[in-house]
Amino acid sequence: MTGGQAIPPIEAAATEEEEADWGALSSLPGNPLMWILILSELMVFGAFLLGVCGVRVMDPALFAASQAQLDRAHGGLNTMVLVTSGFLAALATRAAAENRGPRCRLFLGLASALGLVFLGVKAVEYAAKAAEGIGLETNTFFTLYYLITGFHALHVVLGLVILAVCARRSSLETVETGTAFWHMVDLIWVLVYPILYLIR
């Protein structure tokens, strides 16, 4: 005690300073470092999708002919699968906020199961394209198609690992951090599907 006033603990002051250093990111759920990763990944996928738009403008006939060879049903099914998985991840976050660990883990498990379904459908789609002789080097459209969807599939795999970690350590911050990444994976596919499969 000095002058009748308590001196705040040094550790608490340092923690508050560290939190303030993140600026606007501090107000987002989960760890701010995850949001930095999310923003960087969105920029990468944005660049890929701009490349697709460039192919459309430079060679519309090639784009239309190649796009017509994609299976819209597979892409649509995977969109519903990931949107549903994202909803379950949101329920897991709510359960974590209510300190309901078993319920949180249940929703995370269901979200992960749908992530596996997504990868299964994508594998079927890739196998069908391979059987038709369509590969990475078929043309510019399919080069971008495989790069974008393959890179996204890798993010799904990473997301499944992150959700598994969240299920083991289901604190609110951990779950918020992990599900933020999963929602990014969901959002990216919602953008990829219409641009690659639908818009002519």
Any residues with CB less than 8 A from the CB of 56 and at least 6 apart, and which?
A: 63
Cβ atoms of 8 and 122 within 8 Å: the answer is no
Q: Note every long-range contact of 42-50, with CB atoms under 8 Å and residues 24 or more positions apart, other chains counting.
A: 42/184, 42/187, 42/188, 44/151, 45/148, 45/151, 45/152, 45/188, 45/191, 45/192, 48/144, 48/147, 48/148, 48/151, 49/148, 49/191, 49/192, 49/195
List the chain domain ranges. Answer: 30-198
How far is the C-alpha of 36 from the C-alpha of 43, rounded, in Å?
11
> How sure is the predictor about 27, in pLDDT bands with cuts at 50, 70 and 90?
low
Cβ atoms of 114 and 88 within 8 Å: the answer is yes
pLDDT on residue 126: 96
> How sure is the predictor about 35, in pLDDT bands with cuts at 50, 70 and 90?
confident
Mean pLDDT of the chain: 86
Q: Note every long-range contact of 133-136, with CB atoms under 8 Å and residues 24 or more positions apart, other chains counting.
A: 134/69
* Superfamily of segment(s) 30-198: Cytochrome c oxidase, subunit III, four-helix bundle (1.20.120.80)
How far is the C-alpha of 52 from the C-alpha of 12, rounded, in Å?
49
Q: pTM for this structure?
A: 0.83
pLDDT single digits (tens) 160-188? 999 999 988 878 888 998 999 999 999 99
From 160, 161, 151, 134, select the one nearest 68 (Cα to Cα): 134
How far is the C-alpha of 181 from the C-alpha of 186, rounded, in Å?
9
> How sure is the predictor about 29, in pLDDT bands with cuts at 50, 70 and 90?
low
Distance of CA 24 to the CA centre of its chain: 21
